């Protein structure tokens, strides 16, 4: 009978390779507890004086990122919203992230990616509005990917019919630290741009400084990030860029093809009152 025993040297090599996943990707970091993490979805970011709200946490084989709107690094007027020709800060621009000891740097911008590609799709140009800020490795131990109050995201999803419930967490400094106004619940009004954008109406509506904040559907899935404040079809409506399309575009048109959104460690709950009360004494004026 022919022996199938492998030489010891071969077995040693197989054992050494077995500790590496087939893709070579590393396991995600051990996230900080949600109630003590200083860096989470909803923290404020500052890019050369432009304040925005972070949406979700992202991870690849080596780095942890936090998302913000690409227009937060824009260098033109507030009305310059076409990402295919608007001015923008370059990659590696420093971004101050609330709760981080060190500045992060812009690792991806949909505006830069579209301009480099020569994108001509008018819907992408108008609504593809995602940037990723690479966090300093020294700050990773203080990160948790859960959305304050609501928990989740449970993954990446979408919205379909009008009237569908959505949730968000804004953190504009214009609220003066009154965080009971940060958790928001609303409804989908319409989809536009061939699925690139969703018009939502929330209580309270998004305000300047909330740009980039993440939105969840009724299952707790990440559906998008706040891109525009709108006057039509309803005053106080917000334009939410579709996160699934934005991630797919990033993976296909940048060096960050292995980056994905990180689910929250906290279970999702669609309870607005509970989300408000979870903000603690600061939310109640204490």
Question: Does the pLDDT value for residue 56 go beyond 50?
Answer: yes
- Token pair listed for 36: 């003590």
Q: How confident is the model at residue 181 (pLDDT cuts 50, 70, 90)?
A: confident
* Residue-wise pLDDT tens digits, 71-111: 999 998 877 889 999 999 999 999 999 999 999 999 999 99
Which are the contacts of 167, defined by CB distance < 8 A and separation ≥ 6? 147, 150, 183, 184, 185, 186, 215, 216, 217, 270, 272, 275
Q: CA-based angle 74:136:34, to the nearest 5?
A: 95
Question: Does the pLDDT value for residue 251 go beyond 80?
Answer: yes
pLDDT value for 25: 52
* Residue-wise pLDDT tens digits, 116-166: 999 999 999 999 999 999 999 999 999 999 999 999 999 999 998 889 999
Q: What is this structure's pTM? A: 0.86
Domain residue extents for the chain:
44-142
pLDDT value for 176: 61
Which residue did the predictor score with more confidence, 115 or 273?
Answer: 115
Question: Does the pLDDT value for residue 169 go beyond 80?
Answer: yes
Question: Does the pLDDT value for residue 170 go beyond 90?
Answer: no
Which residue did the predictor score with more confidence, 155 or 61?
Answer: 155
Q: How confident is the model at residue 232 (pLDDT cuts 50, 70, 90)?
A: low
Would you say domain 44-142 falls under CATH 2.60.120? no
CA separation, residue 215 to residues 36, 227, 237 (Å): 22, 11, 14
Question: Does the pLDDT value for residue 63 go beyond 70?
Answer: yes
pLDDT value for 234: 60
C-beta atoms surrounding 61 within 10 Å: 12
Name the average pLDDT for the chain: 86
């Amino acid at each position: 009978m022919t022996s199938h025993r492998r030489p010891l040297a071969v077995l040693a090599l197989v054992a050494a390779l077995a500790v590496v996943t087939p893709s070579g990707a590393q396991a995600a970091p051990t996230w900080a507890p949600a109630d003590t993490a200083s860096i989470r979805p909803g923290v404020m970011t500052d890019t050369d004086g432009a304040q925005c709200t972070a949406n979700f946490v992202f991870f690849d084989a080596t780095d942890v990122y936090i998302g913000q709107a690409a227009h937060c690094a824009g260098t033109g007027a507030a009305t310059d919203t076409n990402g295919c020709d608007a001015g923008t800060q370059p990659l590696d621009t420093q971004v101050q992230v609330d709760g981080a000891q060190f500045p992060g740097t812009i690792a991806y911008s949909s505006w830069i990616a579209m301009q480099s590609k020569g994108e001509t799709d008018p819907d992408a140009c108008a609504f593809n509005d995602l940037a990723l800020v690479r966090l300093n490795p020294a700050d990773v131990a203080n990160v948790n990917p859960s959305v304050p109050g609501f928990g989740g995201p449970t993954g990446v999803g979408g919205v379909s019919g009008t009237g569908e419930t959505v949730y968000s967490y804004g953190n504009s400094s214009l609220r003066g630290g009154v965080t009971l106004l940060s958790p928001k619940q609303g409804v989908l009004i319409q989809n536009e741009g061939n699925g690139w954008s969703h018009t939502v109406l929330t209580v309270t509506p998004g305000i300047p400084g909330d740009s980039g904040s993440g939105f969840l559907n009724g299952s707790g899935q990440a559906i998008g990030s706040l891109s525009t404040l709108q006057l039509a079809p309803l005053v106080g409506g917000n334009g939410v860029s579709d996160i699934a399309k934005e991630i797919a575009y990033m993976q296909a048109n940048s060096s960050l093809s292995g980056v994905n959104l990180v689910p929250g460690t906290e279970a999702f709950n669609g309870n607005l009152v509970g989300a408000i009360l979870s903000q603690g004494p600061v939310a109640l004026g204490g």
